[in-house]
Amino acid sequence: MKWGPFARIMDVCIKLNIHPILGIIPDNQDRKLQIEPARTDFWQLIQSYESRGAIIAQHGYQHVYNNHKTEFAGLPYTEQYEKIQRGKQILEEKLGPSPKWWMAPAHSLDEATCKALYELGFTYITDGIALYPYTEYGLTWVPQQLWSPRVMPIGVWTLCTHTNTISEDSLDSLLRFIEKHEPNFKDVSLTPKSSALTTPMRLAWKIALQLRSL
């Protein structure tokens, strides 16, 4: 990965005692994500971040997409289960306790993915569009709605940042935002909460995923 931006973000998170969600690809085979030389101390580094409160989310298995730009959605249940299980075993071997969070590559998953995740002991999915966390397929979905920092009046909002592609200006802006709004990143409730907007927002998100896969 591109180490510089990632390190800068993590340094600020550690300084302010903010606990980010880190998406870890267990067996990265995606050449587009092989930006700089691998670190021999990668797993020790992730363990150190986890010990400081970072949430580790399994980000797929190998991050290699099929023709429909997804690693999982549309594949048979058994195939999805086996891939998720292999990735989970790698994280268990390298980091210890079983991962409880799932981060879908390309934000793409289906009912079979969710069934496999539930059967394999996952609890949370960081994805979906809603105002608050909600429950579906036996899993708690922590919505992921933003790709640039914004102050929102209500709800629980997750900001997705790709440190391989973020520009220097965007990185500086993000770090200033985090420091300015530090309290907003803490004590966030992950308890599912109903909202009148939850159902239509979730439906719109599912329709968008279906259209993207055509």
Residue type, 69: K
Domains along the sequence of the chain with CATH: 3-212 (3.20.20.370)
Is there a contact between 103 and 140 (Cβ–Cβ < 8 Å)?
Answer: no
What does pLDDT average to in each consecutive run of 10 residues of the chain (214 residues)? 96 97 96 92 97 97 86 94 98 95 93 97 95 94 94 94 95 97 94 84 76 59
CB 127 within 8 A of CB 141: yes
What is the model's pTM?
A: 0.93
How far apart are alpha carbons 106 and 72 in whole angstroms? Answer: 10
Reference 102, options 59, 147, 52, 43; nearest CA is 59
State the burial class of residue 197 (Cβ atoms within 10 Å of its Cβ: 0-12, 13-18, 19+): middle
Instruction: Please state, for a pLDDT cut of 90, what percent of the chain lies above it.
Output: 83
117, two tokens:
């995740």
pLDDT at 120: 98
- The pLDDT value recorded for residue 205 is 76
